[in-house]
Structure 1
Amino acid sequence: MTMDTPEHLSRKDFLKVGAGGIVGVIMAGTNPVMAMRKIAAQQRAKACILLWMGGGPSQLDTFDPKPDTMNGGMFKAIRTATKGIRISEHLPKLAEQMRELAIIRSMTSREGNHDRASYLLHTGYTPQATVQYASLGSMISFEMGDLNAELPSFISINGSSAGPGFLGPQYRPLVIGNAGQMPGNIKPYGINEIRQYKRWRLLDRFEDSFDKRRDSSAIVAHRDVYEKAQRLMESKLTKVFDVSNAGSKQVRRYKLDNYFGRGCLVAKRLIEVGVPFVEVQLGGWDTHSDVFNSVSGLSSQLDPAFAALVEELRSDGMLDETLVVWMGEFGRTPRINERGGRDHFPGAWSVVMAGGGVSGGQVIGSTSDDGMEVTDNPVQVQDLFASIGQSFGIDPKKELVTPEGRPIAFAKKDAKVIDQLFG
């Protein structure tokens, strides 16, 4: 079996289909050339915006409401633009965008620890001592990005994301801590451009001399990181980070008075200039107490920004090529605890997707009336990753090889694409 390595794969090459996928269709008696064409034709997404809800959002108080039940809580469910689908009363603008959204209400996993679950939802794998898996952002950056681009191909806003793992530091995210403002230290302090240029040239000479004495992939990676920083510092595209020039309409729609709204606007701008993966974080969902006040407040930030992002991507003709994914590391317990909160619950929770070839206006899977279990079409995390790969035209069985020679597939071998997403 032939396997691609990070050093040799071209994203424009049909090898993106993956050796594992071709072997599979040969065994099934299918023409491999036709299979490659089919997978390539299915590629729609060129970029992904991950809206990460750190802490684990309550599915019952957002996208899988159970009003008038014992576990339903205080919130009402409201109609959406799609007949028969209801969501939380605190998400009215997203209700208007329901024709573009697909809600997966039957997500399930076994990881109820924040660190382990976050790792799983960012990489598709549980943590292992013997391998550092690459995050989704790093994988999409590797598949779709350009290492010579002016801006990094993976940017995380309002917090750090999971790392590049075995792919190496070239695919590490640029972290923007204060959404809406220019990244810190992007311009040299106290020196002019000529002096800065001379410093870069001096560094190049030192690097050249060091390279000749030692041959190491770590040295190459180190140099790549510095070259990337130089391109970023010199790029005129960095103006996309500054939202102070946003029009009054965008200020109102995204609610730019909060960091999540600013982050979503910056994410759209980054996609417009060719960045293939942006993660925007909204933390605070670990609601072990006072869940209803907390979720109400968080929803007031989430609802306008998420809805404005989807609406603007659609109106600008970008939604079909931009996959938007809303998720956290797990859900919350249907039963409300003695502190008025909901605890960790990986058994049954929700993910929302839009764009990138996803068919909106639908709900996939369902949970029981009390919310305690999945009753229809359970979706594992590896199935979600396989479906994200499908959106990008990446065969989930495609394998990359770690520096130690271990093959790692984009999604686990038993992963299944959620066909209904693209129906």
Structure 2
Amino acid sequence: MRCDYACGSHETLSRRSFLGGTAAGALSMLGFNGMIQADSAKKLASQQKQVVVFWLSGGVSQLETWDPKPGTETGGPFLSIPTSAPGVQISELLPYTAQQMHHLALVRGINTKENNHGKGAYIMQTGRKQQPGFAYPYLGSTFSHHLAPPNSPLPGYISVGAGGSSAESTFLGPRHAPLVLADGRAPNNLDRHDALSEERDLLRRTLRSKISQRFEQKRKTAHTEVYNESFDQAAALMSRSDIFDFSKFSDKDLERYGKHDFGRHCLMARQLIEKGVTFVKVGHTNYDTHSENFNFHIEQLGEFDRPFATFISDLYDRGLLEHTLIICMCEFGRTPRINSRIGRDHWGTAWSIALGGAGIKGGAVSGKTNETGTKVIDREVNGGHLFHTYYQAVGLDSKEEFYPNGQPIAKADPKTEPIKEILA
């Protein structure tokens, strides 16, 4: 019996012609890989917009960071301090960040109306509330899609100590899902085996690619596309394993950033931005302070403050800050009311984030809460406003649409608008 789906003269290919084509392809790939140098990544970084998100999971307290209320019944024990931005004060727990506030803007009028961790995180990373039957792409995947050069061997979205899931890219596809460095270390198996030469490795890859292309001629499915794209991404990443070489940080840098995980992760993020990665997410965890809120923030912000401020300063000194958008956010804030366990609970009603760098007016403040921080009294915004602002800051039209499956989907909530007063 003839096997119509796998056999036939129209699919015949001589071994000589196949291997000849494969060898030529391998040589061309070798030449291409040889052209990829660190200088190219540096040039790319100078031209492309990049984004870094500092994700403070659990919900950092706005009253102990960006919107302190000293001397009030809800303010807690900490004072506010002046910053490098005239007229702007933040918590005394952030003395190093205070010196960088001329690079940062504050949004103090956020009201997402959401006190659930998962739902709040979804709003802050997609700009929308969850909807049955449809999932919006996360911020990292979105910016990977819009900003990453299409033929770059670098991942468009890398998460350092901040978790992540392949589901974040939704209809944008696996190319824009996060590469997760769970412990802040390089992925395994990036280096070619010693017994395999570069030429032979390229020959094998080209052979696999050619077989795959022939297979797809009659059996192309979403699964084969995902498989091939994932393989190609991994192969391309091996050509740029240098972006994960974190062994050469100087003792001075390690001292400046701190010899703890978060400091190391911030230093890694700096290197990834220097190498040209489009979107980097850095995590700092466990801000869910239902008890011992004040002692916890002393300890946790003591770890966060200096490396965060040093990261901003280093990007500025290297000429990278003007094209790198920095966002420091979480899923919600903390209640102004102090509970019986000396803690603060979940609070999506009136809270703050900080952002700076590309397209942002340093020292600007949008929004205002009342004296006790229980409600927004000026310029209330939500996740939609924030997403419009992020898009505009990196030079993208926030009113343009996606077309998954041919259906128009607004990039940012059309019922909202950018926070223009913090845009440069």
TM-score category (smaller protein): 0.7 to 0.9
Structure-to-structure mapping, 1:49-60, within 5 angstroms: 49-60=52-63
Match of 2:120 among 117, 121, 132: 117
The residue aligned with 1:407 is 408
| Aligned mates of 2:247, 2:309 — CA distance in 1 | 21
Match of 2:358 among 352, 356, 359: 356
Q: Does 1:183 align with 2:187?
A: yes
The residue aligned with 2:141 is 138
Structure-to-structure mapping, 1:216-255, within 5 angstroms: 216-235=221-240, 238-255=241-258
- Rate the CA distance shift 1:287–1:193 in 2: closer, same or farther, 3 A: farther
Amino acid at match of 2:389: S
409-418 or 196-205, which deviates more:
196-205
Per the TM alignment, residue 202 of structure 1 is displaced from its structure 2 partner at its CA by 4.9
SS of 1:284's equivalent? coil
Per the TM alignment, residue 196 of structure 1 is displaced from its structure 2 partner at its CA by 4.6
The residue aligned with 1:393 is 395
Amino acid at match of 2:91: S
Match of 1:152 among 132, 135, 155: 155
The residue aligned with 2:367 is 365
Per the TM alignment, residue 315 of structure 1 is displaced from its structure 2 partner at its CA by 1.1
Q: Does 1:93 align with 2:96?
A: yes
The percentage of aligned residue pairs carrying the same residue is: 37
| Aligned mates of 1:234, 1:121 — CA distance in 2 | 34
Query: Are the aligned partners of 2:359 and 2:394 in contact in 1 as well (CA < 8 Å)?
Result: no
| Aligned mates of 1:74, 1:153 — CA distance in 2 | 42
Amino acid at match of 1:357: G
Amino acid at match of 2:160: I
Per the TM alignment, residue 191 of structure 1 is displaced from its structure 2 partner at its CA by 4.7
Amino acid at match of 1:183: P
| Aligned mates of 1:353, 1:230 — CA distance in 2 | 35
SS of 2:71's equivalent? coil
Could you state the TM-score of these two structures normalised by the residue count of structure 2?
A: 0.84
Match of 1:68 among 65, 71, 96: 71
Structure-to-structure mapping, 1:255-294, within 5 angstroms: 255=258, 257-294=259-296
| Aligned mates of 1:175, 1:165 — CA distance in 2 | 16
| Aligned mates of 1:107, 1:193 — CA distance in 2 | 55
| Aligned mates of 1:262, 1:196 — CA distance in 2 | 33
Q: Give the greater-gyration-radius structure (CA).
A: 2
- Rate the CA distance shift 1:189–1:339 in 2: closer, same or farther, 3 A: farther
SS of 1:130's equivalent? coil
| Aligned mates of 1:200, 1:107 — CA distance in 2 | 50
| Aligned mates of 1:159, 1:99 — CA distance in 2 | 27
| Aligned mates of 2:245, 2:69 — CA distance in 1 | 41
SS of 1:414's equivalent? coil
User: How many residue pairs were aligned?
Assistant: 375
CA root-mean-square deviation: 1.9
After TM superposition, the runs of 4+ consecutive aligned structure 1 residues lying more than 6 A away are: none
Per the TM alignment, residue 124 of structure 1 is displaced from its structure 2 partner at its CA by 0.9
Could you state the TM-score of these two structures normalised by the residue count of structure 1?
A: 0.84
Q: Does 1:164 align with 2:166?
A: no
| Aligned mates of 2:130, 2:197 — CA distance in 1 | 45
| Aligned mates of 1:284, 1:205 — CA distance in 2 | 48
Per the TM alignment, residue 380 of structure 1 is displaced from its structure 2 partner at its CA by 1.4
Query: Are the aligned partners of 1:52 and 1:327 in contact in 2 as well (CA < 8 Å)?
Result: yes
The residue aligned with 2:51 is 48
| Aligned mates of 1:390, 1:309 — CA distance in 2 | 23
Query: Are the aligned partners of 2:63 and 2:336 in contact in 1 as well (CA < 8 Å)?
Result: yes
The residue aligned with 1:345 is 347
1:3-35 Cα shifts (integer Å, max 9, x gaps): xxxxxxxxxxxxxxxxxxxxxxxxxxxxxxxxx
Per the TM alignment, residue 250 of structure 1 is displaced from its structure 2 partner at its CA by 1.6
| Aligned mates of 2:358, 2:210 — CA distance in 1 | 44
Per the TM alignment, residue 324 of structure 1 is displaced from its structure 2 partner at its CA by 0.3
Query: Are the aligned partners of 1:148 and 1:228 in contact in 2 as well (CA < 8 Å)?
Result: no
The runs of 5 or more residues in structure 2 that have no matched partner are: 1-46
Per the TM alignment, residue 169 of structure 1 is displaced from its structure 2 partner at its CA by 1.0
| Aligned mates of 1:100, 1:208 — CA distance in 2 | 49
